[in-house]
Amino acid sequence: MQKRLSTKDVILYTFLTLIIILITATMYQIDRQWTKLSETTQALSAQSKDVSNLRVAISKLSKKVEEGGFQLAQSNSSPTAKPSKKNDNSSGVVPAFKRAYAATQLPDYASGDWKVNAFGNNLKTISPLVSSDADASTVQSYVLESLLTRDPDTLEWSGLLAKSWEISEDGLKITFQLRKNIVFSDGEPMTSEDIVFSYNFMMNKGIKAPGTQAYFEPLKSVTANGDYEVSFEFKRPYFEAINLAGGLNILPKHFYQPYMQKTEEYNESKGILIGTGPYRLTNPTSWTPDKGGVELVRNSRYWGEVQAPYDKIIWKIIQNDSARLTTYRNGELDSYIARPVEYKKLKSDQQMMGKSHNFEYMAPVAGYSYIAWNQGTKENPTIFADKRVRQAMTYITDRDKIISDIYLGYAEIAISPFSPRSKQHDTTLIARKSDLKKAKQLLADAGFKDSNGDGLLEGPDGKDFEFELTYFQANEDTKRMVLLLKDMYAKAGVKLVPTPTEWPVMIDKLDNKDFMAITLGWTSGIETDIYQMFHSSQTKTNGNNFINYKSDELDQLIDEARKTVEESKRMPLWKKAEAIFYEDQPYTFLKRSMSLVFIDKRYKNLSMTKLGLNSSMLPLETFVPKANQKYH
């Protein structure tokens, strides 16, 4: 028999419920207060350090004055003297900041506001070296800096952390002179010891960074010559020596040193990130993937002649394409990279165009997408170990149809890892057109035939030609492409099994070579070094040659090209390497896409450079005028 609740029971239950709610709210508030207290403690500690450093500097300055070693600048108040320009290029603005400085001279320039973007993938880690995706690299580029940077107007090298450099006659040694006014975001000064440490930490075999370690393999040593001079010595001539040495991300020794011994702890870390750059994490060790995004704040100690214009840089994690568009429309995001299928419609959308700058361009360093065919091991080869099968898969793949149907013409066919606008590319190579008849013949030559008349090819082992294609599950265009590929392959008697996968799982599959075929993309550079992705030595565990592709001829060409400094002799070697890609098809190279970008009109001074849109680089030269700012 049921017992009805009395008034007393109801009052008691209500009281208990209120107590539980109050306890939960109090715990939440305490947690918030503890986080805030931690941040405040860090800020006070940093300010104390700044005051201490200032006292030391004043003490040194006073001593210098007392000793007569300091001479006051002469007054320039003579009636005949011409007024000097303040901080212009001729009076000492670091060339790397000339564009950013010019922005600060615009009449409506203002600092402040936030820049809010979105990533379509969950980030697994943003710790340097052990992260392996482009989004993590994007975050790091706001925090970490290198000795040199590319001038976006000329593509020439320009000093950043280094003020000058000298290359030995034999090309085996590059010596950098460092700037003396640079501190990390925690206030500690940067010296040559940090550059040496950054190299040694990266090359520590306990650090899980085989791809990066392979890239820096030509370096023999990095040596400090006093506090502000450092030398990079190479084992042999290397065509990208200046890029390699000048592009090394500098990590503070005092901060990362403990992880030299605790490498496993560092390999599993999620957000250990600090540098000299214009932005920083509020707490350099506390970021975790469950935060739902990344938030960087302005580095108030930034050494650059132009301070970061935005108070915060934020990336939200929004995996669904439609959700990202809606969020942008609502003003909660400041940029949106459109899918081709929606782009033309959005360009005629009055609300969209009324609030947006609009750019469509093929970036000079546009990367490429591909299908990678895992060839397996020597003992356990896959069906893709036979190059005739890989050639057939490319002939089956109608890339023209993919570009027209999925990307609506806003892409071009990729022939190889080399950009068609690069000197590495052989213009006589023509992309393979879809040819089902030729594909079937190649498969027949490789021993694949439909013996039982069920429409599926069987291999020499009698098994159906069936394979899983792993792809990132949240990308709508990739999803549509995979379904199109499934139909294409079915016409050739090949069964493709779509395998949608979360991003962290995909990274694990790559590390463990746990897939049959996978579709992804690589970024590109002005000149692309293919050692990491295709040299036989990089088939090791966690290496970037995750398809176990081996070619002695290609290895020799890569090795020779990398040590050939003279461009006129190096380019023919790259073109021979490209011919091997064309023949072997370790990947089916799919396409290079145009960037289709909408940016909120609050942002000013957007422009195209030889490296692409300036807002996609460090945001030191774009800004929001004071009247248009909405975050305070």
One domain, residues 419 and 465: yes
Residue 83 lies in a domain: no
Domain end, chosen from 206, 241, 276, is at 276
Please list the residues that pair with 230 across neighbouring strands. 176, 224
Which CA distances in Å does 508 have to 374, 409, 467, 503, 552? 15, 33, 19, 9, 28
Q: Are residues 614 and 499 in the same domain?
A: no
Same domain, 514 and 497: yes
Task: Give the C-alpha separation, 432 to 49, whole Å.
Answer: 62
Share of the chain above pLDDT 90, in %: 72
- In this predicted structure, what is the pLDDT of residue 534? 96
The encoded tokens of residue 151 equal 């001038």
Q: Please count the other Cβ atoms lying within 10 Å of the Cβ belonging to residue 345.
A: 10
Are 494 and 398 within one domain? Answer: yes
Kindly state the average pLDDT of the residues 296-303.
Answer: 96
Going by C-beta distance under 8 Å and a sequence separation of 6 or more, which residues neighbour residue 335? 117, 328, 597, 598, 599, 600, 615
* 24 within domain boundaries: no
3-state secondary structure 546-614: CCCCCCHHHHHHHHHHHCCCCHHHHHHHHHHHHHHHHHHCCEEEEEEECEEEEEECCCECCCEECCEEH
Residue 107: inside a domain, yes or no? Answer: yes
| Mean pLDDT value across residues 208-235 | 95
- Answer yes or no: do 427 and 574 share one domain: yes
pLDDT of residue 67: 39
| Percentage of the chain modeled with pLDDT above 70 | 85
Q: Is residue 313 part of a domain?
A: yes
Residues 264 and 310 in one domain: no
Question: Does residue 536 sit in helix, strand or coil?
Answer: helix
Is residue 144 pLDDT above 60, yes or no? Answer: yes
CATH number for position 496: 3.10.105.10
Distance CA 22, CA 18 (A): 6
Give yes or no for a contact between 323 and 345, defined as CB atoms under 8 angstroms apart. no
In a domain, 317, yes or no: yes
Which domain does 317 fall in, by range? 100-114+278-361+596-632
Query: What is the average pLDDT across 593-610?
Result: 94
Does one domain contain both 389 and 503?
A: yes
Tell me the pLDDT of the chain averaged across its residues: 87
Predicted confidence band at 24 (pLDDT cuts at 50, 70, 90)?
Answer: low
DSSP characters over 64-93: HHHTT---PPPP---TTPPPPPSS-GGGT-
At 66-122, the pLDDT tens digits run: 334 433 232 233 333 333 233 333 446 889 999 999 999 999 999 999 999 999 988
Round to whole Å and give the CA distance between 249 and 148: 10
Task: Determine the average pLDDT of the residues in 550-568.
Answer: 94
CA-based nearest residue to 173, from 111, 244, 116: 244
Angle (deg, nearest 10), helices 387-396 and 567-584? 90
Closest-CA residue to 501 (of 490, 489, 512): 512
Do the domain assignments include residue 600? yes
Return the pLDDT at 83: 31
326 and 382 housed in the same domain: no
**Are 198 and 295 part of one and the same domain?**
no
> Which two structure tokens, joined as six digits, stand for 176?
């950098």
Using alpha carbons, select from 104, 275, 78 the residue that is nearest to residue 188: 275
Q: What is the CATH number of the domain that holds 205?
A: 3.90.76.10
The domain boundary residue, chosen from 224, 247, 276: 276
Task: With residue 221 as reference, give the H or E element that holds it.
Answer: strand 219-224
> Is pLDDT above 50 for 41?
no
Q: Residue for token digits 């939440």?
A: 28
State the pLDDT confidence band at 294, using cuts at 50, 70 and 90.
Answer: very high
Alpha-carbon separation of residue 102 from 27, 37, 162 (angstroms): 50, 39, 22
Are the beta carbons of 622 and 601 closer than 8 angstroms?
A: no
Predicted local distance difference test score (pLDDT) of residue 365: 79
Domain count within the chain? 3
* Residue 429, domain member (yes or no): yes
- φ and ψ of 555, to 5 deg: -55, -45
Same structural domain for residues 258 and 285? Answer: no
**Collapsed DSSP state (helix, strand, coil) of residue 317:** strand
In whole angstroms, give the CA distance from residue 40 to residue 24.
24
- Domain assignment of residue 59, yes or no: no
Which token pair is 136?
A: 């993590």
Kindly state whether residues 125 and 228 are assigned to the same domain.
Answer: yes
Q: What is the mean pLDDT of residues 581-596?
A: 96
Same domain assignment for residues 254 and 311? no
Domain boundary among 229, 250, 276: 276
CA–CA gap between residue 123 and residue 118 (Å, rounded): 12
Question: What pLDDT shows up at residue 620?
Answer: 92
Q: Which DSSP state fits 178?
A: E
∠ CA(570), CA(576), CA(580), 5° rounding?
140
Is 474 a residue whose pLDDT tops 60? yes
Q: Tokens for 628?
A: 């248009």
